Structure 1
């Protein structure tokens, strides 16, 4: 392998890692209901279509914060990432399974909604930073049932640290602390 081809391979690998970081930050922004974190993963003029037509990024983030903020918790887990980088442009298909706990109504238990789908993203690199410029979401399946989630009791009764929305989640203090 020549020095030039080795450099190209390293740059391609660095780009792929940076793109996967953007995808992970999206999940963090969603699950912590952190609008600022979400805004950082998209270009200012991004269009996002979760299945109900393309919308500008600002309207999408506002809608996500309202909808997801009304839920008790969400957890998005990304898996397989197919990525094709071409200079400062890239396309990615990312598998996702997301858990949503919706508050029960009229004395009914909370509802557990699990959704499996994929994100089809067009990304661009500007000023050395990758961001999502266009996103299309494809829902492959979903399941809804009464939630059995609990924070107290049983095997985990002694655990006192739980996830929360921003800025109350313990990770915010952890990231802000010095090494």
Structure 2
């Protein structure tokens, strides 16, 4: 591979990783713009009980997530196989979730995103996603039902939905 080809491959891999992280922020912060920017408009998503358009998954997920709760997603072990303007991407995820309806019920999920990425107009996004579940644990955690001020004490600020989360103030300041 030429130096120019190697550089293009590195740039593609970094753009794909950035898209995966954007998806996680979108889900965790209920950031609709970030979620939609992770997928192509015609993308598909097989996400447990949901199997259909990515736009439909986003609509359904945001309706539930905007009701409140806590969640955090992390991705790792990102393997990227490039083939021109397409890539097969496997990334492991760990997710912790508690809903507003059941704030003391914690769901711990581990699995993998099996994604087909496509580069269109120089931009990499998910064209098709299949979520593969490898682990689930559900348990009651009564302390999670406490108000943030009591649960976290002096550990402030706490995470919030977009645009109230501190990351959005930092991004706004960066953009001037």
* TM-score, length-scaled by structure 2: 0.89
Which one of the candidate residues 105, 121, 139 is aligned to 1:127? 121
Alpha-carbon spacing, 1:104–1:110, altered in 2? closer, same or farther (3 Å): farther
- Alpha-carbon distance in 1 for matches of 2:19, 2:95: 17
Tell me which residue corresponds to 1:98: 95
Distance of 1:173 and 1:124 partners within structure 2:
31
1:40-119 equivalence runs, <5 A? 40-52=37-49, 54-103=51-100, 110-119=104-113
Q: SS in structure 1 opposite 2:157?
A: coil
State the partner residue of 1:28.
Answer: 25
Post-superposition offset of 1:103: 3.6
What's the TM-score, normalizing by structure 1?
0.88
Larger radius of gyration: 1
User: How many angstroms apart in 2 are the aligned matches of 1:104 and 1:23?
Assistant: 28
Kindly indicate whether the alpha-carbon contact (under 8 Å) linking 1:100 and 1:114 is maintained by their aligned counterparts in 2.
yes
Structural RMSD (CA)? 1.9
Aligned to 2:163: 167
Shift of 1:51: 2.8
SS at match of 1:177: helix
Q: CA deviation at 1:120?
A: 0.4
Separation in 2, partners of 1:72, 1:53: 20
What SS does structure 2 have at the residue aligned with 1:54?
A: strand
In the TM superposition, what whole-angstrom CA distance separates every residue of 1:148-173 from its partner, at most 9, and x where no partner exists? 4464458x522331110111111111
Q: Distance in 2 between matches of 1:126 and 1:173?
A: 30
**Structure 1 range deviating more: 50-59 or 78-87:** 50-59
Segments of structure 1 that go 5 or more residues without pairing to the other structure are: none
Query: In structure 2, how many angstroms separate the alpha carbons of the residues matched to 1:102 and 1:71?
Result: 6
CA distance in 1, matches of 2:57, 2:88: 20
How many equivalent residue pairs?
172
**SS in structure 1 of the partner of residue 65 of structure 2:** helix
